[in-house]
A and B are shown apart, each in its own frame.
Chain A
Amino acid sequence: MKALWYFIKSYFAILVVGLVYAWSAGAILVYRNRQTPPDAVVLRIGHWQLEASVRDAINEMAERYREVHPNVYVVQDAIPEGVYGQWVSTQLLGGTAPDIVQVGAMLPPNIWLSYYNRYFIPLSREVNRPNPYNKSTELEGTALRQTYKDGMRTAYVDEMQEYMSIPLSQFGVRIFYNKDMLKRLTGLDEAPEDYREFLAACEKIASQKDERGNNYIPIAGSQYHFSMWDPMMFDPLTYGAVRKADFNRDGFVGNDELYTAIKTGRLSMKFPPFEAKFRMLREVTDHFQTGYTGLTRDEAVFLFAQQKAVFMTTGTWDARSLQAQAEGRFEVGVMDFPVPAPDDPYYGPIVEGRNYERPGGGFSFGITRTSKNPELALDFLLFMASQQQNEELNRVIGWIPCILGTEMDPMLEAFAPHLEGVYGAFPIWLGGETGVKWQQLYSLYQVNQISYDDFVSQFEPFYQEQGYKDFLEQQRDWRRGMHQNERFLAGIRARALASEGDDATSAWVKYRALTTSRQIWAELGHNRQMRLIDQGPDLDAVGPYEYSPAILKKIRARIKKEK
C-alpha cells in the first residue's frame, strides 16, 4: 500500500497525463461509435464554417446521400477559423486528415500550393466528365466544370495546371439593413439605392434618439467593414483615370502608370474622379459610429443586432446568422450599394455605373491522398455539386448556389454579381516611405482630422519626390519571379522529356505555352516600365484612349470615300 502511495506521489504528473489521455481516447471512441454504426463507411469532412446552418446543411446532404448509399455516414470536423491553418497542417502532415478538406483560405496561398502538391488528389480528369447526379436535368451529359456559373475557374490551380477542389457556393457583398427601424425612423419601406436619398435617410436616422437619449447610428462600421465599402462604392469612382493614365492600354492603371501620370502633371489628386472618391468616403463614413477605424467586426455586428444601427455591409456568409439573430425581433433586408443618379450635380459627370464584380466559387473542398475512400469522397462532392442538391445545400445555409440553373433564396437575389461595370484606377501604393506617409494621412482623413486639401498638399509633393525611390525598391525583385518560373518550367520540361506519345505532345505544348507566357515578357515589361518612369509619357501626344490627328485624318478620308 505504501509502495503504491509512493508510486502515485512520484509519478503523479505522468499518471494524470496518462489518465486524461485514456479518458479522451475513450470519449472519442464512444462519440464516434454513437455517430456511426460499427459497419458503416465513414467519410470525414473538415471545414472552418462554424455557422450552425452550414453544419445542418452538410448533415442534410449526408442524409440525402444515405438514401442512395445507405451505409455511408458523414462526420464533420468543424474547426474555428483561428486555428484551422494549424489544424489542417498537422492533420495533413500526420497523415490523419479527413477524407474531404475545405481548402483555399486560412493559410497563405503558397502553403496551400505545397499542400495541394503533396496531400491532395488532382481532379482534372473528373471535372471534364459529366456529373452523374445531374441525370434528368438540363445539365445531364455536361462536363462538371461547365455546370458551374464561373466555369469552375477558382478550382483550377495555375501553378499545377490541375483542378484541385470542388467549390459549392458563390459569395457576394451587399448592404444589410433593419427594415423595421428604417420604416420607423424614416418612413421608408425599402432602402433607397439612389445615393442622395440614401444619405438623406442616414441623416434622418442620425437625428433621432433612442429611449435612452442616444442618437441612432445610421451605419454600423469597423475597419473590417470599411474594407468592403471602399472597393464596392468609393474606388470605382476613379475609373476615369483609365482614359488618362493607362499608357500601355491594357485596361488598367498600374502603380507605375499612376506615379508617372502624377509626376508629369497629367493627373493629380485633384483629378475630379479621385476627389469624388474621397468626398464620397467622407459623406458615407460620417454616418458610421464614432471611432469606427479602431473597432472590430464583432463590435459593428453587435450594434446592428442590438438595433442601434440601421445599415451594415457584409457578405452572403453572414446572411443566415444575421437573419437568425434578428428572428422575432426585426426583419433584415438586403440592398445594393447606392449609386449617384446621372443628373447628380457633383457625381453625375463622374459616376459611370455600378462596380464590376468577378463571379467566383468558394466553399471549396479537396480530397486528401490519405482518404481510405477517395472514390466515395469524390462521389459525395459530386452529389453536393449537382444542380438539385447544390440548390438545397445553399438554401439551408443561406448562400448562393454555384451551379447553373439553380435558384437562390429571394433574399440573396440582391447579391447577383454585376458582370459589367467599372473598377478602381487609383493604385497609389508604392510601399516604402510613401506607403507609410499614405497610411498616416489616410487614417487621419478617415477619422476627419484633416481635410482633403490638407491631405493632398501634404501627400502629393512627398509622393512625387519619394515615389521614384520606392518604385525602384519595389522593382528590385522583378528577377526573383523569373527564377521561380525557371524552376517551375524545369519540372514541366522534365515531365515532358519523360513522357511518350500523346502525353508527350500535350506536355510539350504546355511547356511551350508556359515558357512563352512566363519567361519571354518579364524583361520587356520591366524595361518599358522603367522607360515610362524615367522619361514619362510624351506630353505632346494624345491620351492613351484619344485619336491622334493622323488617325482622325485617316477616318475622315475613309468616311468621305464611303460617301
Chain B
Amino acid sequence: MRRFIMRVAVAATALAGALFLFACSSAVYVVESDDPFESAWNDYTLGEFDRATEKFEALRAGAVVGGDEWCKAVYGLATTWNLRRPGEDTKKATAYYEELIQGAPTHDLAVWSRLALARMKHLVPVGETPDYGEVRKAYRDVMALHPGHLAAQEAFLYLQSTLISSLDPAQTKQALEALEKAVADPEYQFVGPAWSLIAVGSQTLGDMERRLHAEEMSLKTTEVDPTNPFTEYSWQYWNLATIAEFDVGDFEKARYYYQKLIEEYPQDIRVYGARQALMRMDDLEMKIRAEM
C-alpha cells in the first residue's frame, strides 16, 4: 500500500513538474491570419500542404456551391494538390479545377483554372516530354474562351514560347507574326517579354537588325516591380551592346550600351569586359582608318 502511495506521489510530482515547465514555456508563434483564405494560402506558401488542404476543404464544405467563397476554396484545393511536392495528386487537382469550371463557369478563377489545366499538360514530370500538340491546344482553348483575360494573355505567351523554343524556322515565323500583333495591342500586358521572344525568334531566323530592335523595345517596355529595388538592366545593356557590336556592326549603339553598363552598374562583373569592348572597337576603327 505504502509503495503504491509512493508511486502515486512520484507520478503526481512528475506531472506537476511537467505542467510547471509547460507553463513556463513561451507560446510558439504560428503564422495565422484572421482571413481564413489568407491563412490557408500562408500554409501553402510555407509548404504546410496538409494544413492548407484541411483549411481549403473546410472552407469548401462550408460554402455555397458556385459562390465566390466556394470558388476560392476549390481553386486553393486544386492548386495545392497540383503543385505540392511531395504528395501531389494531379487527378484530384484536375477534378477540382474541372469542378470549379463547371460549378462557376463565369467566375474569374474558372479562367485561371483553365490555364492551370493547360500548364499541367506543359509541366510534365521530370524525364518526360510534353505532348506539344496537346499543350498548344490547351493554351489556345484558354485564349479562345476568355479573350483579353490576363490568364489568356499568359497562355498566349506560353504558346508562343513553345513555338520559339522549338528552334524550328517555320514555327518561329508563325510565333513572330502572332507576337508582332500582340505588341501592337495596347491591351496586351506582357509586352516586354513578347518583345524578348521576338528578339530570340529573330536570332533563330538570322535577322539580327530585327533582333536588336526587339531587344531595345523589350528594354523600353520592361515592367518594374516596385517592391524589388534590384530590377537590373546590366544584363540587358550587355546583351544589346554585344548584339550591336558583333551581329549588327552598329558601334555607336554598342558604345552607348557598354557605357551605360559601366556608368549605371560600376560594380557589375562585366565592367571589365565592357571596357575591353570599348577599346576593341576603337582599335578596329583606328586600324581601318589607317589602312584607308
Binding site for B on A (CB under 8 A): 3, 7, 10-11, 14, 18, 93-96, 114, 117-119, 124, 145, 150-151, 153, 156, 161, 242, 249-251, 352-353, 356, 358-359, 369-370, 419-423, 476-477, 479-480, 482-484, 486-487, 490-491, 493-495, 497-498, 506, 508-510, 512-516, 519-520, 523-524, 527-528, 531, 544-548, 551-552, 554-556, 558-560, 563
Contacts and interface: CB of A to CB of B under 8 A. Distances in A.
B167 interface: yes
Contacts of B196: 516, 520
B246 A551 contact: yes
B147 interface: no
* Best-buried of A484, A508, A545 by chain B (most CB within 10 Å): A545
Contacts of A95: 25-29
A486 B82 CA distance: 10
Contacts of B62: none
Interface in B240-281: 242, 246-249, 251, 266-267, 269-273, 275
Contacts of B124: 479
Contacts, number: 185
Given A150-B267, A242-B273, A551-B246, A370 B29 contact: yes
A251 B273 contact: yes
B85 to A, nearest CB: 7
Chain B at the A interface: SS class: helix
A523 B165 contact: yes
Contacts of B284: 547, 555
Interface in B190-219: 190, 192-193, 196-197, 200
Given A250-B235, A477-B126, A527-B165, A495 B41 contact: yes
Given A96-B25, A117-B45, 17 more contacts: A93-B28, A95-B25, A95-B28, A118-B46, A151-B229, A352-B272, A358-B269, A359-B267, A369-B29, A422-B272, A476-B126, A497-B108, A512-B190, A516-B196, A519-B158, A520-B161, A523-B162
* Best-buried of B25, B190, B227 by chain A (most CB within 10 Å): B227
Contact of A251 (B41, B166, B189, B269): B269
Nearest to A547: B246
B162 A370 contact: no
Contact of B161 (A423, A476, A523): A523
A251 B270 contact: yes
B223 interface: yes
Contacts of B46: 114, 117-118
A114 B47 contact: yes
A520 B266 contact: no
Contacts of A151: 229-230
18 contacts: A11-B10, A95-B26, A150-B267, A151-B229, A251-B273, A359-B267, A423-B269, A482-B123, A486-B119, A509-B225, A509-B226, A510-B228, A512-B190, A512-B223, A513-B228, A524-B161, A548-B246, A563-B292
Contacts of B125: 479
A95 B235 CA distance: 43
Contacts of A524: 161, 164-165, 200
Given A114-B46, A370-B29, A482-B123, A509 B224 contact: yes
B154 interface: yes
Contacts of A11: 10
Contact of B83 (A114, A483, A558): A483
A516 B26 contact: no
Interface string B82-101: 01110000000000000000
A250 B190 CA distance: 24
Interface in B59-116: 76, 79, 83-85, 108-109, 112
Nearest to A530: B167
Contacts of A515: 154, 157, 190
A494 B83 contact: no
Interface string B6-35: 100010001001000000011111010001
Nearest to A119: B29
Given A14-B10, A95-B25, A547-B284, A555 B251 contact: yes
A390 to B, nearest CB: 19
Contacts of A420: 271-272, 275
Interface in B156-187: 157-158, 161-162, 164-167
Contact of B44 (A96, A119, A494): A494
Contacts of B246: 249, 544-548, 551
A356 B79 contact: no
Range class of the B interface residue count = 35 or more
A487 B35 CA distance: 21
A435 to B, nearest CB: 21
A476 B127 contact: yes
A14 B227 CA distance: 56
B112 A493 contact: yes
Q: Which 4 A-B pairs have the closest CB atoms?
A: A95-B28, A487-B83, A516-B193, A551-B249
B228 A161 contact: yes
Nearest to A162: B227
A118 B32 CA distance: 10
Contact of B223 (A494, A509, A552): A509
A516 B158 CA distance: 10
B255 to A, nearest CB: 13
A250 B241 CA distance: 11
Contacts of A477: 126
A294 B86 CA distance: 40
A92 to B, nearest CB: 9
Contacts of A124: 227
Contact of B123 (A359, A483, A520): A483
Contact of B288 (A96, A486, A556): A556
A114 B45 CA distance: 9
Given A161-B228, A353-B272, A494-B44, A358 B85 contact: no
Contacts of A242: 273
Given A95-B25, A516-B190, A520-B157, A249 B45 contact: no
B230 A156 contact: yes
A251 B238 contact: yes
Contacts of B225: 161, 506, 509-510, 513-514
B230 A153 contact: yes
Contacts of B272: 352-353, 356, 420-422
B76 A494 contact: yes
A440 B135 CA distance: 46
A167 B66 CA distance: 50
A551 B254 CA distance: 13
Contacts of B248: 551
* Best-buried of B31, B269, B284 by chain A (most CB within 10 Å): B269
A508 B150 contact: yes
Given A510-B225, A520-B161, A356 B190 contact: no
B78 to A, nearest CB: 10
Nearest to A548: B246
Contacts of B251: 555
B134 interface: no
Contacts of B230: 151, 153, 156
B285 A559 contact: yes
A487 B165 contact: no
Contacts of A509: 223-226
Contacts of B83: 483, 486-487, 490
B190 to A, nearest CB: 6
